[in-house]
Amino acid sequence: MVSESQRIPSDFDLIFAGQPAQHSFYLYHIISRLLSTKHANNICGIIELGTGSGALTTYLGLWGTRLGVPVFSIDTNAYAIDNGAGPMFHRLGVIYRQEDIFSNVEKIKGLISFLGPVYLVCDNGNKVKEFRTFVPSLDSGSIISVHDWSTEIQEGLVKDVIESCKLQAIDQDLWLRCSAIFASWVKG
């Protein structure tokens, strides 16, 4: 059994469903707005690149349950699992894969192709590479969100992908106003 002091690291101020939250709760509001729009009507799955501590994964698992779609979370480390998120992921139907996304590109692209339009959340260690690698493989109608927009990834680094994939910004007015620094598009 994991003790409370092991489960909740002191460097996290927020907790969501028992998991340390690395994002502000306002980010969850933004995702709720996004997944409550017409853009999410055809989503057949949710794929999160970068599980981190598991709080956002748990939130996405709740949305997967609500939308009736599978949720996949892929990360190199097992921090969330080591800190007790495994049973919650299991109950929510979240499929967690501990693997390096860039060593398994074809496997992940195969999952994307199998599912159809997905909600892809890029929040791993190299967001520019994630965006460039996986966004072109997404079906039309897919939604893409990137955390740390303007800090770890900027438009100039992915503008060619945005244009070639005909990505249309969603809620762009929120990008600069929110502390979440979260950008989203729908693929045309």
Backbone dihedral angles phi then psi of residue 103, each to the nearest 5 degrees: -90, -10
pTM of the model: 0.90
- pLDDT for the residue numbered 83: 82
pLDDT tens column, 28-58: 988 999 999 999 999 999 999 999 989 999 9
Pairing relation of β-strands 19-21 and 14-16?
A: antiparallel
Question: Looking at 1-10, 37-46, 103-112, 172-181, which range is the least confident one?
Answer: 1-10
Radius of gyration (C-alpha) of the chain in whole angstroms? 16
Residue 166 has pLDDT above 90, yes or no: yes
Domain boundaries, the chain: 12-187
Q: Which of 81, 85, 66, 161 is nearest to 122 (CA)?
A: 161
Backbone dihedral angles phi then psi of residue 26, each to the nearest 5 degrees: -65, -30
The correct CATH number of 12-187 out of 3.90.550.10, 3.40.50.150, 3.20.20.80, 3.30.750.24 is: 3.40.50.150
Alpha-carbon distance of 30 to 27, in angstroms, equals 5
> What pLDDT band is residue 179 in, cutting at 50, 70 and 90?
low
Task: Give me 148's structure tokens.
Answer: 């740390």
What count of Cα atoms within 13 Å lies in the side-chain half-sphere of residue 93? Answer: 15
Q: Give the residue, 26 or 96, on which the prediction is more confident.
A: 96
